[in-house]
Amino acid sequence: MKGTMQGVTLIADWDPKPGFKLGSKDIEGRQTYLGSQVWRHPRFEIREYDIPTPGPEQVVIEIKACGICGSDVHMSQAEKDGYIFYPGLTGFPSILGHEFSGVIVEAGKNARDKRTNKPFKGGEPVTSEEMLWCGQCKPCADGQPNHCEQLDEVGFNVNGAYTKYMVLPSRTVWSLEPLRQRYKGDDIFVAGSLVEPTSVAYNAAIERGGGIRPGDRVVVLGGGPVGIAACAILKRAGASKVIISETQPERAAMALKLGADYHVNPAREDFADRVLEITDGMGADMFMEATGLPEVVYPGIERVIWEGRTLLSTVVVTARAEAKMPVMGEVLQVRKARIVGAQGHSGHGNFPRVIDCMASGMDMTPMSTKKISLEELPENIIKLQTDRSECKVTYIAN
């Protein structure tokens, strides 16, 4: 295909803080693994790009939907000194957008469809992992793609989906064909754009957290999209009580709609007292930290583990935070509890299982509370810096 397209592009100035040293994977002036140490004065521009063409193992996707993620907000948000909030891998200028779905319009001759085990024909509805794991490094070769040592990230250091077409390696692309039965019209693409954040929750709760047994009690702290998705997955996995801890009323309501049974508002009531009350003094088998404020919420989790009568609780640290948690080893020892960290969404059958859960009735589309056009993306991303009332704002391509 020939022609041009518009892309919502984030630009920032390369201006490393004093003492910053280029890491082994950093590229002077272009890319760093420590965004908030380097990039200053972020701003959006809608730029013109050539429509990409695929290499032998690549596909070109016509974008249909893409959700705005908290990391988009944090990449474009500056501290008082002008440095961006987002601490991770970033390379600017870049088209943002990584929670997307679309249709295959062109495929290289070796690009394979994992659903059919045949080459892509064109016309398939798909989504993709955001993490472009290399498949060559030791963690990748050991089956740990979420810890790839040569990682590229769609919409962070390579161009993302806030545009019309994008090129991707076929290895990270997953068919949305199973959703056709249940989702009509654009809803298949809205659901497809929610596979990535839902897979982050799936990887955390099921893969890293070890899953639950039907009848277990679980507590999800933080009702952002990943926390809400965790409520849906854990309810589907058979939890008897899913408790959401969240201060913001719209987010709590969404969690209750998609899987949570009880809501605790830690701004108005004591978190530990309420969880112990709801569980009749038993506590919980799993706690998911999805607030990004572990130093604030961990003491409450610890008290539930200590005072509750459940042994073998698992705390899954899901949200990213540069903060120390105050952990008492004695509590972990006496209660046989453990804390695990979770990162990413790739591998371990996460994406295809989430798609099949969605195909069999785990409908996440209510999370998309606002639909916008490409031109409206910059203002909406900026609005999300201060307004958390929308759950997911979704760009719908036309």
Query: C-beta of 254: minimal distance to Zn ion in Å?
Result: 17
Among 71, 101, 128, 199, the one annotated catalytic: 71
Whose structure tokens read 């806030």?
162
Between 137 and 396, whose beta carbon lies closer to Zn ion?
Answer: 137
Residues 46-75 that bind Zn ion (CB under 5 A): 69, 71
By C-beta, is 4 or 150 nearer to Zn ion? 150
b (16+ CB within 10 A) / e for 27-54: eeeebbbbbbbbbbebebeeeebebbeb
Choosing from 140, 190, 252, 290, the residue that interacts with Zn ion (CB under 5 A) is 140
Binding of residue 148 to Zn ion (CB under 5 A):
yes
How far is Cα 49 from Cα 106, in angstroms, rounded to an integer?
Answer: 17
User: Can residue 137 be called a binding residue for Zn ion (CB under 5 A)?
Assistant: yes
d(CA 234, CA 217): 9
In the block, tokens 């899954």 appear at 316
Q: Are 96 and 162 in contact, with CB atoms under 8 Å apart?
A: yes
> Which residue lies nearer to Zn ion by CB, 226 or 244?
226
Q: Phi then psi for 259, rounded to 5 degrees?
A: 160, -25
The answer to whether residue 320 forms part of the interface with Zn ion (CB under 5 A) is no
Assess whether 74 carries a catalytic annotation.
Answer: yes
CA-closest candidate to residue 204, choices 52, 344, 371: 344
Give the list of residues 6+ apart from residue 329 with CB closer than 8 angstroms, or none.
none
Total of residues contacting Zn ion (CB under 5 A) = 8
Identity of the residue, 69 or 264, whose beta carbon is nearer to Zn ion in the bound complex: 69
Supply the minimum distance, in Å, between the C-beta of residue 76 and Zn ion: 14
Least CB distance from residue 221 to Zn ion, whole Å? Answer: 19
Q: From CA 40, how far away is CA 85, in angstroms rounded?
A: 10
- In the bound state with Zn ion, the residue whose beta carbon lies nearer, of 36 and 313, is 36
Give the chain's radius of gyration (CA, Å). Answer: 21
- In whole angstroms, how close is the CB of 66 to Zn ion at the nearest point? 11
Query: Is 71 tagged catalytic?
Result: yes
Query: If binding is defined by CB under 5 A, does position 201 make contact with Zn ion?
Result: no
Query: In whole angstroms, how close is the CB of 1 to Zn ion at the nearest point?
Result: 28
342-368 residues labelled b (16+ CB within 10 A) or e (exposed): bebbbbbebbebbbebbbeebebbebb
Any idea which residues carry the catalytic annotation?
A: 71, 74
Residues of the shown chain interacting with Zn ion in the complex, contacts defined by CB under 5 A:
69, 71, 133-134, 137, 140, 148, 150
